[in-house]
Amino acid sequence: MGRRTLSRQVALLGGTTSAGDCMAGLRYLAAPRHLVHGPAIAAYEQAFAEKIGVHYAYSFAAARVGLYGLLQALDVGVGDEVLLQVPTHIVVANAIRYTGATPVYVDCRLDTYNIDLEQAERRITPRTKVLLVQHTFGIPVEMDAALDLARHHGLVVVEDCVHSLGARYAGRRLGSIGKAALFSTEETKTISSTMGGMVLTDDPELAGRIASFQSACASPAVSLAGRYVLKLVLYHLLSQPHLHHYARALYERLGRRHPLPKPTSIAEVRGLKPARYEGRLSNAQAALALRQLRRLTSNLGHRAATARSYQAVLAESAADVPRPPVLAEPAYVRFPVWVRDRVAAVRAVAPHAVLGTWFTSVLEEAASPAAGAYVSGSCPRAELVAKHLVNLPTHLRVQPDDVQAITAALRTEVSTPEVWG
């Protein structure tokens, strides 16, 4: 075990790409005239729509940009309210606030880390327009209940599927159930284009409005598109389990000073809208994501098997594992675990893997939750989650021996939440 500790550390990300993806990326870097514009964008959008089972899909520089455009297409603006859960990411709240609307935060359940729909109903006002349901970690929200709530109050249901590519509810792919949906292909997600997002809908009128917004978005500079592709290649190499122990130490030493493009800007963590926010996905990024989309079945199969292994081993330790709705088929982008002491858990597992710490705040990465207009104490379960949750990697580099090592290291730290929602 000591030898393994020194030689192998599973990264939190990087396991979705292949050597072939890297070679394709390097070819784009060698012929940069196809980096930004080309046929891969339309092909990727069509394939994504077909994969989810809807008619229309539109790509963007990031999912947050797609959400911002979608809300505008739904005529959400000043005076309107959008219900959303915490914990979530500051960029989700920002996209709402940038339209002039108000995010209304709803606490999560502790069995799924998804929105508490009973509390959501109590927070509806005459100004509420959208119910944004986040399928956290790839665990589906109970969509029958969400749709019933929305119909009763005349709300639009938008699915936040940034964690849940490939998950299903009642046999239907998530992203095909609400009025519209958004997906992310940022580097930590089920497939990676380093940065990127997609908005889907089956509504032709809404699709036309989203298409108009997309056409008004700026394409990335060649240099930025190239840096995203280069980052994908470097992350593929540096997240190899036998290299990652050393690469991670260098990354942490550099902190935010490293030269690679960062997923969240300083303006965004402060709740401010950055310059050049409305952006499109590049052709090269679309091509790389399309390659991974075509391998989605094997990707999801591995994640499902890994999650089942975590679930089985942790259950033996009396740890509470997620309890998805009966009709749900999760697609775990990461597997969440409640621990007594997060710092101790991260330290215990570090020789074997890098643990995820979604979410360290009710609004992840925010300089302060107040930057997203969150009122402290308004969602106490989410605030507990922000102190006690870790999440385990499920990507294709996680092997059975890794599962055993990670869960053995966690065994003394797993804990049961005091209150289940």
CA-based radius of gyration for the chain: 20
Tell me which amino acid residue 118 is: E
Q: Give the mean model confidence (pLDDT) for residues 161-187.
A: 98
CATH number, domain of 312, equals 3.90.1150.10
Q: Tell whether omega for the bond before 48 is within 30 degrees of 0, i.e. cis.
A: no
Q: Are 280 and 60 in contact (CB under 8 A)?
A: yes
pLDDT of residue 3: 42
Q: Give the mean model confidence (pLDDT) for residues 332-348.
A: 96
Residue 5 has pLDDT above 60, yes or no: no
pLDDT of residue 415: 67
Q: Are 412 and 256 in contact (CB under 8 A)?
A: no
Q: Tell whether omega for the bond before 87 is within 30 degrees of 0, i.e. cis.
A: yes
**Residues 363-385 pLDDT 10s:** 999 999 999 999 999 999 999 99
Tell me which amino acid residue 362 is: V
Residues 6+ apart with CB under 8 A from 399: none
Is residue 217 included in any domain, yes or no?
Answer: no
Is residue 177 included in any domain, yes or no?
Answer: no
Domain residues for the domain of 324 are 296-410
Is residue 326 included in any domain, yes or no?
Answer: yes
pLDDT of residue 315: 87
**Residues 236-275 pLDDT 10s:** 999 999 888 777 666 666 666 667 899 999 999 999 999 9
Three-state secondary structure call for residue 246? helix
Confidence band (pLDDT; 50, 70, 90) for 2? very low
pLDDT of residue 1: 39
Task: Print burial letters for 50-87: b (CB count within 10 Å at least 16), e (below 16).
Answer: ebbebebbbbbbbbbbbbbbbbbbbebeeebbbbbbbb
Closest by CA to 72, choosing from 92, 49, 101, 45, is 101
pLDDT of residue 7: 73
Q: Are 184 and 197 in contact (CB under 8 A)?
A: yes
Is residue 257 included in any domain, yes or no?
Answer: no
Give the DSSP H/E element, type plus range, for residue 137: none
**Which residues face 159 on adjacent strands?**
133, 181
What DSSP string describes 254-265? HGGGSSSPPSS-
Using alpha carbons, list the distances in angstroms from residue 216 to 212, 340, 394.
6, 48, 37
**Residues 74-99 pLDDT 10s:** 999 999 999 999 999 999 999 999 99
Is residue 223 included in any domain, yes or no?
Answer: no
Is residue 396 included in any domain, yes or no?
Answer: yes
Is residue 191 included in any domain, yes or no?
Answer: no
Is residue 7 included in any domain, yes or no?
Answer: no
Strands 180-184 and 156-160: parallel
Residues 6+ apart with CB under 8 A from 373: 93, 97, 102, 103, 271
Closest by CA to 182, choosing from 289, 40, 48, is 48
Q: Which of 162-171, 209-218, 254-263, 400-409 has the lowest mean pLDDT?
A: 254-263
Q: Give the mean model confidence (pLDDT) for residues 6-21.
A: 89
Percent share of the chain, pLDDT over 90: 89
Three-state secondary structure call for residue 220? coil
Task: Print burial letters for 300-333: b (CB count within 10 Å at least 16), e (below 16).
Answer: bebbbebbebbeebbeeeebbbbebbeebbbbbb
Domain count along the chain: 1
